Copies of this chain bind each other. A is one copy, B any other.
Amino acid sequence: MALIARRLLEQLSGVFSNEAQAVANPPLFASIQVVFRPTPRLAPGSLLLEQAYALDPGQPYRIRVLRVRHRQEQGLIIENWALQDEERLYGATMEPERLVHVQQQDLTLLQGCTYLVETAGDGFRGEVEPGCNCRVQRAGRETYLVSRFEVGEGWLRTTDQGFDPQTHDRVWGAVSGAFEFERIRSFAAELPEAW
């Protein structure tokens, strides 16, 4: 794997918290826990992702497999895979012995939801590929996702918004500004050498 992809994996692997942001801005930001855990039984570059309210980390509101790849034609990308029967894996990012139960046959690539990534300083920034094709049902409405992140050594910033496919009006998300996370634990040491 390209060195640059390795660095992205190292910066992402870990537990991120925006508790400082929540405490500084009550009551505008929920405290969120975001965990990216290397999942060595899957293809190189695979991280299990869980996003949850810090109040209830065992009940994530989003669980995915992200796969960092470096492709000749597109450069650095992160594929976004959904999990079948995802409930059985809730909490697995913090109980790594359960990661063996994440298998490729349970994964479905989310079309239109791949992140295109470029370097930015010592870190990276990424955005869902253009085309308005990453469809998300929310509050009974179909929306397309516009999602951006920036990551560096020890920090992560994210914004997610949903837009109406016809009018392109914003339907949900990220009106108070980006979520700003600090990494409170690193799992970079768990990345297989071969990745």
Known contacts A55-B54, A55-B55; A27 and B32 CB within 8 A of each other: yes
A149 within 8 A of B: no
Segment at the interface with B among A74-82, A87-95, A115-123, A170-178: A170-178
Main secondary structure of the interface of A (DSSP, over half): loop
What 0/1 readout, one digit per residue, does chain A (37-70) give for beta carbons within 8 Å of chain B?
0000000000000010111000001100000000
Is A29 in the interface zone, CB < 8 Å from B?
yes
| Across-interface contacts of A32 in B (CB, < 8 A) | 27
- Interface presence of A72 (CB below 8 A): no
A30 at interface by CB-CB < 8 Å? yes
Q: Which of A27, A62, A173 has the most CB of B within 10 A?
A: A27
A175: contacting residue among B27, B55, B62, B176, CB under 8 A: B176
Q: Is A147 at the interface (CB under 8 A from chain B)?
A: no
Asked if A188 is an interface residue, CB under 8 A from chain B, the answer is no
Give the chain B neighbours of A26 by CB distance below 8 A.
30, 51, 53, 61-62
CB of A56, distance to nearest CB on chain B (Å): 9
Contact B172 A25 (CB under 8 A): yes
Q: A22-B53, A28-B173 are in contact. List 7 more A-B contacts (CB 8 A).
A: A26-B53, A27-B30, A27-B179, A29-B30, A31-B55, A175-B176, A176-B176
